[in-house]
A and B are shown apart, each in its own frame.
Chain A
Amino acid sequence: MLKDITLGQHFPGNSVLHRLDAMIKIILSMLYLVLIFLVKGFVGYGLLAIFVFCIILLSTVPIKFVLKGLKPLLIFIIFTAILNLFMTSGTVIWQWSFLKLTYEGIYFAVFMILRIVFLVLGTSLLTYTTSPIALTDGIERFLTPFAKIGAPTHELAMMMSIALRFIPTLLEETDKIMKAQMARGADFESGNLIKRARALIPLLVPLFISAFRRADELAIAMECRCYQGGKNRTRLNVVKVGKIDIIASLVFLLCAAVILTANLAG
């Protein structure tokens, strides 16, 4: 049952977006974030909406699936909207004791909602179209320049990929321990919160002990295979930025330029 959890929310496919190099996708996503915060006014947001819609279509990820990513943030969005609605000073439209609904408030609330929605839609497309492995690799290459100033980029990437490697193993183990404890009468599903949390202790203790033992054995196995950190390391798969990545970047920059110009004019 635990095995069914999808991690990283990857949606496999073969669209242009899937085939783009992960590092390029990370950089473009960052530029996209900047773009969202530069855009003001309805013309800008209208164009941005069209842009995001086109990208979602291009990704072949079902729109319903993409919109689902907004669900956990719904409360946060509503909260921010209400805060903006009533806490912005300006021309008062309607007032009830200390609550003031202002024209500016409505304006800011709408834009805040749009910003968050665009932000979530755009960035979730990054994880939907990039496998966790490619993402890790992309992050490592993205951070490479920082290694020169002593940042532990190789270690970070190694940690991420080992975590990815062991998540299924540990999930499987959790499942096994849970079943073993249930067979002995453990009850993980009933009772109040405290009772349930306490029921987890006999699950977590063996899980942690086993995880430490695994870590120990893995460390020795890695030493046996001549692991010596990131220095002088070569790679089996050297990813090169290809034609498609350059074209995608140019198209993105062009769209961004159009949106920003329209934004200034509008």
Chain B
Amino acid sequence: MIKTEKLTFNYSGEQPNVLKDIDIEIKNGEFVAVLGHNGSGKSTLAKHFNAILLPVGGTVYANGINTKDESRLYDIRRAIGMVFQNPDNQIVATIVEEDVAFAPENLGVPTAEIRETVDWALDTVGMTEYKQHAPHLLSGGQKQRIAIAGVLAMKPKCIVLDEPTAMLDPIGRKEVMDTLMHLNSKNAMTIVLITHNMDEAVNADRVIIISDGEIVKDAPPHIVFSDVDEIKALGLDVPQVTELMYELRKAGLDVPSGVITIEDAYKALSEVAG
């Protein structure tokens, strides 16, 4: 779905590269979480996936198309949708359904088909009843679901989300995460989720950690989070359960590492307790 080969990038020529020799391949239907501390280059990387930025060195293929191929720019943009942190700054229209219609309108989709797509997109994110509402009156989580619907309306193959829950309260976070999980499992949508929240990352099939423009980890979450000391050295946290198990192990309890879900923790602790 997305493939980068020796991708390097910097914003203004001289300075050390923001991205250094990045090689990743994201497969169809995968749910990938991208982690990294502030300024590590996550947003910069994401913007290469739909040709908002073009590599300085190396190549990026989005849906099999080289992002440098200008003639296919809109094929790339509609295949790889992008959702950003602040929902207020990506909603264009004053009515929910008109906002969702923005992308298909831009693509010149016939009116009847736009209607169908918009209804489908709003239904998929569970916002049908709000279609005539003014977006600024909705909650953060609802706004972000509208933003997701707006991207869905392009019928993309993959959605890249850059810290979509960073500005939301716990309820909004859950709404957005549930929507993403649903899209991934029911619609086989490829999801790339950039996040700061480790408890969101455990839902992914695969976790990529990026530090100072380099990939330092790329593995399933239970493997990535098994070395707690290393993760902390990278300036990141681990999920809450993992932290708990880590502390218990340090205190001398015989529990396994790489526990990332509450169920697994419960199982491990029951075994210890006999």
Contact = CB atoms under 8 A, between A and B. Distances in A.
Given A133-B95, A161-B93, A234-B111, A221 B84 contact: yes
A79 to B, nearest CB: 38
Interface stretch (B63-71, B74-82, B243-251): B74-82
Given A224-B81, A225-B150, A225-B151, A234 B109 contact: yes
Given A226-B154, A235-B114, 4 more contacts: A169-B88, A217-B89, A223-B52, A225-B154
Contacts of A213: 89
Interface in B41-55: 47, 50, 52
A227 interface: yes
A224 B92 contact: no
Given A217-B84, A232-B108, A225 B102 contact: yes
Contacts of A164: 94
A38 B78 CA distance: 55
Contacts of A257: none
Chain A interface mostly helix, strand, loop or mixed? helix
B interface, size bucket? 35 or more
B106 A161 contact: no
A221 B97 contact: no
Contacts of A179: none
Interface string A165-190: 10011001000000000000000000
B235 interface: no
A218 interface: yes
B130 to A, nearest CB: 16
B222 interface: no
Contacts of B115: 236
Interface residues of A, number: 29
Contact of A217 (B90, B108, B134, B150): B90
B97 to A, nearest CB: 7
A236 B114 contact: yes
Interface in A199-243: 213-214, 217-218, 220-228, 232-238
A132 interface: yes
Most chain B beta carbons < 10 A, residue from A132, A222, A226, A232: A226
Contacts of B106: 225-228, 233
A234 B102 CA distance: 9
Contacts of B74: 226, 228
Contact of B108 (A162, A225, A233, A236): A233
19 contacts: A133-B94, A161-B94, A165-B92, A168-B134, A214-B89, A221-B89, A223-B77, A224-B52, A225-B150, A225-B151, A226-B74, A228-B106, A234-B110, A234-B114, A235-B111, A236-B111, A236-B114, A237-B98, A238-B111
Nearest to A224: B82
B136 A225 contact: no
Interface string B230-271: 000000000000000000000000000000000000000000
Contacts of B91: 165
Given A233-B106, A234-B114, A165 B52 contact: no
B34 interface: no
A218 B89 CA distance: 5
Contacts of A225: 77, 92, 102-103, 106, 150-151, 154
A234 B52 contact: no
A218 B85 CA distance: 11
B78 to A, nearest CB: 6
A236 B98 contact: yes
Contacts of B110: 234
B105 A236 contact: yes
